[in-house]
Protein backbone atom coordinates (compact mmCIF):
# COMPACT_ATOMS: atom_id res chain seq x y z
CA UNK A 1 0.00 0.00 0.00
CA UNK A 2 1.35 3.44 -0.97
CA UNK A 3 2.07 5.79 1.93
CA UNK A 4 -0.28 8.75 2.28
CA UNK A 5 -0.97 11.52 4.77
CA UNK A 6 -4.21 11.98 6.74
CA UNK A 7 -4.94 15.11 4.71
CA UNK A 8 -4.49 13.21 1.45
CA UNK A 9 -6.83 10.50 2.71
CA UNK A 10 -9.45 13.12 3.61
CA UNK A 11 -9.21 14.88 0.25
CA UNK A 12 -9.41 11.68 -1.77
CA UNK A 13 -12.28 10.26 0.31
CA UNK A 14 -14.15 13.51 -0.29
CA UNK A 15 -13.42 13.43 -4.02
CA UNK A 16 -14.95 9.96 -4.28
CA UNK A 17 -18.34 11.33 -3.17
CA UNK A 18 -18.74 13.19 -6.46
CA UNK A 19 -19.91 11.94 -9.86
CA UNK A 20 -20.14 13.15 -13.46
CA UNK A 21 -23.77 14.18 -12.90
CA UNK A 22 -23.00 16.63 -10.10
CA UNK A 23 -23.31 20.37 -10.42
CA UNK A 24 -21.15 21.35 -7.47
CA UNK A 25 -20.77 24.66 -5.63
CA UNK A 26 -17.14 24.59 -4.49
CA UNK A 27 -15.63 26.13 -1.37
CA UNK A 28 -12.03 27.33 -1.29
CA UNK A 29 -9.35 25.16 0.36
CA UNK A 30 -9.92 21.46 1.03
CA UNK A 31 -13.29 21.37 -0.81
CA UNK A 32 -11.65 22.83 -3.93
CA UNK A 33 -8.88 20.23 -3.83
CA UNK A 34 -11.38 17.38 -3.48
CA UNK A 35 -13.61 18.61 -6.29
CA UNK A 36 -10.74 19.03 -8.71
CA UNK A 37 -9.29 15.62 -7.88
CA UNK A 38 -12.71 14.17 -8.74
CA UNK A 39 -12.70 16.13 -12.03
CA UNK A 40 -9.24 14.86 -12.91
CA UNK A 41 -9.99 11.21 -12.08
CA UNK A 42 -13.39 9.53 -12.11
CA UNK A 43 -15.71 12.50 -12.80
CA UNK A 44 -14.35 14.42 -15.83
CA UNK A 45 -17.81 15.75 -16.74
CA UNK A 46 -18.61 17.24 -13.33
CA UNK A 47 -19.68 20.91 -13.40
CA UNK A 48 -17.76 22.99 -10.86
CA UNK A 49 -19.17 26.36 -9.83
CA UNK A 50 -17.43 28.96 -7.66
CA UNK A 51 -19.07 31.79 -5.76
CA UNK A 52 -17.64 34.50 -8.03
CA UNK A 53 -19.90 33.28 -10.85
CA UNK A 54 -17.63 30.92 -12.78
CA UNK A 55 -19.51 27.94 -14.22
CA UNK A 56 -17.85 24.78 -15.54
CA UNK A 57 -14.41 25.92 -14.45
CA UNK A 58 -11.41 23.61 -14.89
CA UNK A 59 -8.48 25.20 -13.01
CA UNK A 60 -4.98 23.92 -13.65
CA UNK A 61 -3.94 25.12 -10.19
CA UNK A 62 -6.07 25.45 -7.06
CA UNK A 63 -7.41 28.98 -6.51
CA UNK A 64 -6.35 31.12 -3.55
CA UNK A 65 -9.79 32.74 -3.43
CA UNK A 66 -13.07 32.90 -5.35
CA UNK A 67 -11.64 35.91 -7.19
CA UNK A 68 -8.65 34.01 -8.58
CA UNK A 69 -8.27 34.71 -12.31
CA UNK A 70 -7.58 31.02 -12.93
CA UNK A 71 -11.27 30.29 -12.31
CA UNK A 72 -12.58 32.76 -14.87
CA UNK A 73 -9.90 31.92 -17.43
CA UNK A 74 -10.85 28.22 -17.43
CA UNK A 75 -14.64 28.55 -16.99
CA UNK A 76 -17.20 27.61 -19.61
CA UNK A 77 -18.81 30.98 -18.85
CA UNK A 78 -19.02 33.52 -16.03
CA UNK A 79 -22.15 35.19 -14.67
CA UNK A 80 -22.65 38.00 -12.17
CA UNK A 81 -22.71 37.16 -8.47
CA UNK A 82 -26.42 38.16 -8.13
CA UNK A 83 -27.30 35.82 -11.01
CA UNK A 84 -25.20 33.06 -9.48
CA UNK A 85 -27.08 33.21 -6.20
CA UNK A 86 -30.59 34.09 -7.38
CA UNK A 87 -30.89 32.01 -10.56
CA UNK A 88 -28.44 29.15 -10.05
CA UNK A 89 -28.32 28.60 -6.29
CA UNK A 90 -31.72 29.75 -5.06
CA UNK A 91 -33.27 28.38 -8.23
CA UNK A 92 -32.37 24.84 -7.15
CA UNK A 93 -29.99 24.18 -10.03
CA UNK A 94 -27.02 23.05 -7.93
CA UNK A 95 -27.01 19.46 -6.72
CA UNK A 96 -24.09 19.56 -4.29
CA UNK A 97 -22.32 22.07 -2.07
CA UNK A 98 -18.83 21.38 -0.72
CA UNK A 99 -17.98 23.34 2.42
CA UNK A 100 -15.39 23.56 5.18
CA UNK A 101 -15.42 25.48 8.42
CA UNK A 102 -13.54 26.49 11.54
CA UNK A 103 -15.94 24.69 13.88
CA UNK A 104 -18.74 22.13 13.59
CA UNK A 105 -21.15 20.62 16.11
CA UNK A 106 -22.81 17.20 16.36
CA UNK A 107 -25.66 18.28 14.04
CA UNK A 108 -23.26 19.54 11.33
CA UNK A 109 -23.90 23.23 11.93
CA UNK A 110 -20.85 25.30 10.93
CA UNK A 111 -19.14 28.34 12.42
CA UNK A 112 -16.89 30.57 10.31
CA UNK A 113 -17.66 33.85 12.11
CA UNK A 114 -16.20 34.13 15.64
CA UNK A 115 -14.64 32.08 18.41
CA UNK A 116 -15.87 33.33 21.75
CA UNK A 117 -18.64 35.93 22.43
CA UNK A 118 -19.77 37.71 19.28
CA UNK A 119 -19.30 41.21 20.75
CA UNK A 120 -15.87 40.44 22.23
CA UNK A 121 -14.51 37.42 20.34
CA UNK A 122 -11.23 35.69 21.05
CA UNK A 123 -10.83 35.22 17.30
CA UNK A 124 -12.71 36.87 14.46
CA UNK A 125 -12.95 34.50 11.50
CA UNK A 126 -13.44 35.32 7.78
CA UNK A 127 -17.25 35.15 8.02
CA UNK A 128 -19.93 33.36 6.10
CA UNK A 129 -19.50 34.61 2.54
CA UNK A 130 -21.91 32.53 0.49
CA UNK A 131 -21.75 29.48 2.78
CA UNK A 132 -25.09 30.09 4.59
CA UNK A 133 -26.93 30.23 1.26
CA UNK A 134 -25.02 27.22 -0.08
CA UNK A 135 -25.91 25.21 3.05
CA UNK A 136 -29.59 26.08 2.62
CA UNK A 137 -30.10 25.84 -1.13
CA UNK A 138 -27.84 23.11 -2.56
CA UNK A 139 -29.50 19.71 -2.89
CA UNK A 140 -27.02 18.19 -0.44
CA UNK A 141 -23.90 19.29 1.41
CA UNK A 142 -20.54 17.60 1.94
CA UNK A 143 -18.20 18.99 4.59
CA UNK A 144 -14.45 18.45 4.83
CA UNK A 145 -12.66 19.23 8.11
CA UNK A 146 -9.79 17.76 10.09
CA UNK A 147 -11.08 16.04 13.24
CA UNK A 148 -9.92 17.86 16.38
CA UNK A 149 -11.41 19.03 19.67
CA UNK A 150 -10.73 22.58 18.56
CA UNK A 151 -12.89 22.16 15.47
CA UNK A 152 -15.47 19.55 16.54
CA UNK A 153 -17.08 21.26 19.53
CA UNK A 154 -19.92 20.52 21.96
CA UNK A 155 -21.59 23.88 21.31
CA UNK A 156 -20.89 26.51 18.66
CA UNK A 157 -20.40 30.10 19.82
CA UNK A 158 -22.04 31.20 16.56
CA UNK A 159 -23.94 29.35 13.84
CA UNK A 160 -22.87 30.72 10.45
CA UNK A 161 -24.25 27.96 8.20
CA UNK A 162 -27.03 25.69 9.39
CA UNK A 163 -26.65 21.98 9.08
CA UNK A 164 -29.41 20.14 10.90
CA UNK A 165 -30.07 22.81 13.51
CA UNK A 166 -31.13 21.21 16.79
CA UNK A 167 -31.50 17.82 15.13
CA UNK A 168 -34.55 15.86 14.08
CA UNK A 169 -36.76 17.68 11.60
CA UNK A 170 -35.37 21.18 12.23
CA UNK A 171 -34.75 21.87 8.55
CA UNK A 172 -38.26 20.82 7.58
CA UNK A 173 -39.81 22.95 10.35
CA UNK A 174 -37.92 25.96 9.02
CA UNK A 175 -39.19 25.34 5.50
CA UNK A 176 -35.94 24.10 3.97
CA UNK A 177 -36.52 21.54 1.24
CA UNK A 178 -32.89 20.47 0.70
CA UNK A 179 -31.13 17.59 2.48
CA UNK A 180 -28.44 19.63 4.23
CA UNK A 181 -25.17 17.92 5.23
CA UNK A 182 -25.19 14.26 4.23
CA UNK A 183 -21.52 13.47 4.88
CA UNK A 184 -18.67 14.95 6.90
CA UNK A 185 -15.29 13.76 5.67
CA UNK A 186 -12.39 14.15 8.11
CA UNK A 187 -8.74 13.11 8.16
CA UNK A 188 -9.58 10.16 10.47
CA UNK A 189 -13.07 9.00 9.48
CA UNK A 190 -16.31 9.72 7.66
CA UNK A 191 -19.49 10.70 9.48
CA UNK A 192 -23.14 10.72 8.46
CA UNK A 193 -26.22 12.14 10.22
CA UNK A 194 -28.50 9.60 11.88
CA UNK A 195 -31.69 9.24 9.77
CA UNK A 196 -33.90 10.20 12.73
CA UNK A 197 -31.91 12.33 15.19
CA UNK A 198 -29.54 13.84 12.56
CA UNK A 199 -26.65 13.54 15.04
CA UNK A 200 -23.39 12.71 13.28
CA UNK A 201 -22.04 9.19 13.70
CA UNK A 202 -18.97 7.45 12.32
CA UNK A 203 -19.71 5.18 9.34
CA UNK A 204 -16.19 4.65 7.95
CA UNK A 205 -12.74 4.70 9.57
CA UNK A 206 -9.61 5.44 7.55
CA UNK A 207 -6.82 2.82 7.37
CA UNK A 208 -4.63 2.67 10.48
CA UNK A 209 -6.96 4.80 12.62
CA UNK A 210 -8.42 3.43 15.88
CA UNK A 211 -11.78 4.20 17.43
CA UNK A 212 -9.95 5.49 20.50
CA UNK A 213 -8.13 8.10 18.42
CA UNK A 214 -11.41 9.32 16.94
CA UNK A 215 -13.00 9.62 20.39
CA UNK A 216 -9.96 11.50 21.73
CA UNK A 217 -10.13 14.06 18.91
CA UNK A 218 -13.83 14.90 19.12
CA UNK A 219 -15.28 17.54 21.45
CA UNK A 220 -18.45 15.58 22.18
CA UNK A 221 -19.10 11.87 22.97
CA UNK A 222 -19.02 10.74 19.37
CA UNK A 223 -21.21 7.85 18.25
CA UNK A 224 -20.41 4.98 15.89
CA UNK A 225 -22.91 3.47 13.46
CA UNK A 226 -24.04 -0.13 13.91
CA UNK A 227 -21.95 -1.06 10.88
CA UNK A 228 -18.61 0.71 10.43
CA UNK A 229 -16.41 -0.04 7.43
CA UNK A 230 -12.78 0.77 6.64
CA UNK A 231 -12.31 3.53 4.09
CA UNK A 232 -10.53 2.17 1.00
CA UNK A 233 -6.96 3.47 0.90
CA UNK A 234 -6.02 5.96 -1.83
CA UNK A 235 -4.95 4.42 -5.11
CA UNK A 236 -1.68 5.33 -6.79
CA UNK A 237 -3.61 7.22 -9.46
CA UNK A 238 -5.59 9.27 -6.92
CA UNK A 239 -2.42 10.18 -5.02
CA UNK A 240 -0.55 11.06 -8.21
CA UNK A 241 -3.32 13.41 -9.36
CA UNK A 242 -3.64 15.09 -5.95
CA UNK A 243 0.10 15.55 -5.50
CA UNK A 244 0.48 16.83 -9.04
CA UNK A 245 -2.15 19.56 -8.69
CA UNK A 246 -0.75 20.52 -5.27
CA UNK A 247 2.75 20.80 -6.73
CA UNK A 248 1.51 22.97 -9.63
CA UNK A 249 -0.40 25.15 -7.19
CA UNK A 250 2.61 25.61 -4.91
CA UNK A 251 4.82 26.54 -7.85
CA UNK A 252 2.28 29.01 -9.22
CA UNK A 253 1.65 30.73 -5.91
CA UNK A 254 5.25 30.92 -4.75
CA UNK A 255 6.24 33.17 -7.63
CA UNK A 256 9.79 34.12 -8.48
CA UNK A 257 10.62 36.87 -5.99
CA UNK A 258 14.09 37.64 -4.56
CA UNK A 259 15.93 34.51 -3.50
CA UNK A 260 13.77 32.26 -5.68
CA UNK A 261 14.84 30.69 -8.92
CA UNK A 262 12.80 31.46 -11.98
CA UNK A 263 10.55 28.63 -13.13
What domains are defined for the chain? 6-254 (3.40.1080.10)
pLDDT of residue 27: 85
Q: What is the pLDDT along the chain (263 residues), one digit of tens a residue?
A: 579 999 999 999 999 999 999 999 998 888 899 999 999 999 999 999 999 999 999 999 999 888 888 999 999 999 999 999 999 999 999 999 999 999 999 999 999 999 999 999 999 998 898 899 999 999 999 999 999 999 999 999 999 999 999 999 999 999 999 999 999 999 999 999 999 999 999 999 999 999 999 999 999 999 999 999 999 999 999 999 999 999 999 998 886 445 544 43
Give the CA angle between residues 114, 149, 34 to the nearest 5°: 80
The residues assigned a catalytic role are 51
**Residue 200 exposure: Cα atoms within 13 Å on the Cβ side:** 34
- Strand 123-124 and strand 140-144: the pairing is unpaired
pLDDT of residue 255: 65
Give the CA angle between residues 113, 216, 12 to the nearest 5°: 70
CA distances from 129 to 15, 33, 120 (A): 23, 19, 21
pLDDT of residue 90: 94
| Contacts of residue 117, Cβ cutoff 8 Å, sequence gap at least 6 | 157
pLDDT of residue 257: 45
| Contacts of residue 82, Cβ cutoff 8 Å, sequence gap at least 6 | none
CA torsion through residues 231, 235, 238, 243, sign? positive
Exposed/middle/buried for 238, CB within 10 Å: 0-12, 13-18, 19+? buried
The model carries a pTM of 0.91
Amino acid sequence: MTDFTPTEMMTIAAARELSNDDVCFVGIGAPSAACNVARLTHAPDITLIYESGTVGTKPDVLPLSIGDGELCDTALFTVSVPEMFRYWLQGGRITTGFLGGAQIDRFANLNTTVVGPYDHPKIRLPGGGGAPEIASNCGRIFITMALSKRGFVERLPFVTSMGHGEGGNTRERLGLKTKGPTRVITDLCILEPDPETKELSVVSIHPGVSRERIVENCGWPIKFAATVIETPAPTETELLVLRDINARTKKAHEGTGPGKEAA
